[in-house]
A = this chain, B = another copy of it.
Amino acid sequence: MREIRVGLAGLGHVGSAAASLLHRTAEGFVRRFGARLTLHAVCDASPAKARGLGLPRGVRVERDWRRLTADPAVDIVVELIGGQDPAKRLVLEAFAAGKDVVTANKALLSRQWPEVVGAAQAAGRRLAFEGSVCAGIPIIGSLARSLAPNGIRQILGILNGTTNFILSRMTCDRCPAGAALREARRLGLAERDPRLDLDGSDSAHKLSVLASVVLGRWLDPARVGRAGIESVGLDDALFAVEELGRTVRLLGLARFEDGPEGPTVEARVCPTLVPLRHPLAAVHDAYNAVMLETSEAKDLMFYGLGAGAGPAASAVVGDLWLLAEARLGGRAAPPLLWAREGRVAVRKPEDCLGRFYLRFQASDRPGVLGRIAQALGRQGVSIAHVHQRSRSGSARTVPVVLVTHAAPEGRVRRAIEAVAGRDGVSRRVALMRLL
């Protein structure tokens, strides 16, 4: 019976779960493909982690990842070390040695896309990375296979579970942001340093990977417009639900347009007011969801847990089965669909049209609303409605909420700059898009 051998680097939560799942599903693989997919070697800077995983006897345990890439018996390398280095060297050396690679490393892929994808292509090897975006949700597999005949016009997604948990607790349970974050930490849903979640960076990395798959070219995450949830207060969350019939979600959006000189992309991550009837409004707690607007299948949504060892291991081992099946076929790898020639034009965030929600805190004195409205008017931004509540109790300021008609983001931001921090208007302004 033929055998495909796996070398797995990185025995953290995901690596341990993947090693275990690979072992538990070995029989299913044999039944399906009439061949064996075996864990040949694992590698971790702390090799002691391999104990207690219940690995089958005969699995080699290494400390140095070079022992995987240098081992001619290894067919597929699984990179679950995370981060940039040595993950990148491992992946590049694996391709150079004729191995296929599975990774779940969104930081590596989003930042080093051209080099990593280029190395796979130069070596004629395969790269699979379902686990790098939304863990066990089969979004990359669907884009690459079932939906391949479709043009993808838009990706719209809740790509970060931590912020979605916080926003859910705010909008559904009237829980303040700080308390919701502490609860997320307690439940193991947030990193010790959650800044990359809160400021939208994690979502931007995932959006970059998804958009790069669709485009076949790199969308540098540095070119993704980015706003986090730090400025979204409980007031905003409750106002949205009660007065606007909307809820707040941190959405990543990539919109693709074909032009004569190649594709143009609009790409951003920002807190967004979603109508309560919209399917993304029903994505609660730490769940993720990705909506696609496609040319043939129309609107699709993929929903599930976007993190966790089990879901990520599902993606990793699913990828392993696919690469193993391809190797068993003895085919040369087809050209990677995510490696096309040419540059991507990215629209500047300030030029992107949208309807906006703005909340100012203002001292309750004559003329403040007038100045805000005037500043928007000077930028050609028209106002759809205004809500100003009267001062309650001992509060020294009142919230002034405005919703605009469609306008370029740059103009709205310039209007804000003209009034924020002056003449009784607070420096901090909550800004959200309407979906």
A contacts, CB < 8 Å to B: 17, 21, 25, 28, 31-34, 130, 135-138, 141-142, 145-150, 172, 277-279, 281-284, 287, 289, 294-305, 308, 310-311, 313-315, 317-318, 321-322, 325-326, 328-331, 334-335, 337
Contacts of A313 in B (CB 8 A): 296
CA distance A289 to B304 in the complex (A): 13
CB of B28 within 8 A of CB of A314, answer: no
CB of B331 within 8 A of CB of A310, answer: no
Question: A34-B334, A298-B304, A305-B298 known; A25 and B149 CB under 8 Å?
Answer: yes
Partner of A297, one of B298, B314, B334: B314
Closest chain B CB from A374 CB (angstroms): 40
Contacts of A294 in B (CB 8 A): 136, 314
Partner of A145, one of B21, B322, B330: B322
Contacts of A137 in B (CB 8 A): 297, 300
CA distance A315 to B314 in the complex (A): 24
Question: A136-B297, A300-B137 known; A146 and B142 CB under 8 Å?
Answer: yes
Closest chain B CB from A351 CB (angstroms): 30
Contacts of A21 in B (CB 8 A): 149, 296
What are 18 A-B residue pairs whose CB atoms fall within 8 Å in the complex? Answer: A21-B149, A34-B335, A130-B146, A135-B297, A136-B294, A137-B300, A138-B146, A141-B146, A145-B145, A145-B318, A147-B318, A150-B314, A278-B282, A279-B282, A279-B303, A296-B311, A297-B305, A298-B305
Closest residue of chain B to A292, judged by CB? Answer: B304
CB of B149 within 8 A of CB of A314, answer: yes
Closest residue of chain B to A281, judged by CB? Answer: B282
User: Chain copies in the assembly?
Assistant: 2
CA distance A17 to B297 in the complex (A): 12
Partner of A334, one of B281, B283, B325: B325
Contacts of A17 in B (CB 8 A): 296
CB of A299 within 8 A of CB of B305, answer: yes
CB of A300 within 8 A of CB of B34, answer: no
CB of A310 within 8 A of CB of B328, answer: no
Closest residue of chain B to A24, judged by CB? Answer: B149
Contacts of A142 in B (CB 8 A): 138, 141-142, 146
Question: A138-B147, A147-B138, A149-B21 known; A296 and B314 CB under 8 Å?
Answer: yes
CA distance A330 to B176 in the complex (A): 59
CB of A331 within 8 A of CB of B334, answer: no
CA distance A420 to B284 in the complex (A): 41
Partner of A147, one of B299, B305, B314: B314
CB of A298 within 8 A of CB of B149, answer: no
Closest chain B CB from A232 CB (angstroms): 21
Closest residue of chain B to A334, judged by CB? Answer: B33
Closest residue of chain B to A313, judged by CB? Answer: B296
Contacts of A297 in B (CB 8 A): 135-137, 304-305, 310-311, 314-315
Contacts of A32 in B (CB 8 A): 148, 334-335, 337
CA distance A300 to B318 in the complex (A): 15
Closest residue of chain B to A216, judged by CB? Answer: B31
CA distance A311 to B146 in the complex (A): 11
